[in-house]
Structure 1
Amino acid sequence: MPADRTINWPSVTTILSAAILIGTELMGAAWASGWAIAGWFQLGSTVETILQVVFGLAALFAIFVFVRAAFRVEPAFKR
């Protein structure tokens, strides 16, 4: 990192705070979706866990995409 760039802490804090909020909601929805689908179709606890893991991985990917896009839009460094 060049010496003339400093971290823009308000922007970084905003992005990370939004990522925590959105990530918590997505992970909760992933867990609840796996539970609901497995319960609705009476698939058993093993399939429920598999669905929760699959939906959780999709949620983690969505969080990653959000953070990457947010850092492109929001200036993370001051010049």
Structure 2
Amino acid sequence: MALPERGSINWLHVSTLIAVGILVGTEMVGASWAAGWALGGLLQFSPLVSRIVEGLFALCGVVLLYYFMRTAISNESIRN
């Protein structure tokens, strides 16, 4: 059984996805981390609890970035 031929890689689309990942990732993770920092300061948590809240919010940002990139890759054809 022969494998179907695949097209060549469209490097313009790959570079677009990388750029979008960097841009959106910086915004999403940075904003969620800052939200955790602001919440910890607003509620006057101890430094340890504040760091834990920051880490949890940053983790939420990474998860959101994962789902965003998964959707972006499925909608942007990498191969011709």
TM-score interval (norm. to shorter)? 0.7 to 0.9
- After TM superposition, the runs of 4+ consecutive aligned structure 1 residues lying more than 6 A away are none
Q: Secondary structure at the match of 1:5?
A: coil
- The structure richer in strand per residue is 1
Q: CA deviation at 1:12?
A: 1.1
Counterparts of residues 1-79 of structure 1 (less than 5 Å): 4-78=6-80
CA–CA separation in structure 2 for the residues paired with 1:4 and 1:36: 49
Question: Given the two structures, how large is their TM-score scaled by the length of structure 2?
Answer: 0.86
Question: Given the two structures, how large is their TM-score scaled by the length of structure 1?
Answer: 0.87
Measured on the aligned residues, the alpha-carbon RMSD in Å equals 1.6
Q: Secondary structure at the match of 1:7?
A: coil
CA–CA separation in structure 2 for the residues paired with 1:11 and 1:2: 22
Q: Is the 8 A contact 2:6 2:79 kept in 1?
A: no
Q: Which runs of 5+ in 2 are unaligned?
A: none
Q: Secondary structure at the match of 2:63?
A: helix
Identity within the alignment, %: 36
Q: CA deviation at 1:5?
A: 2.4
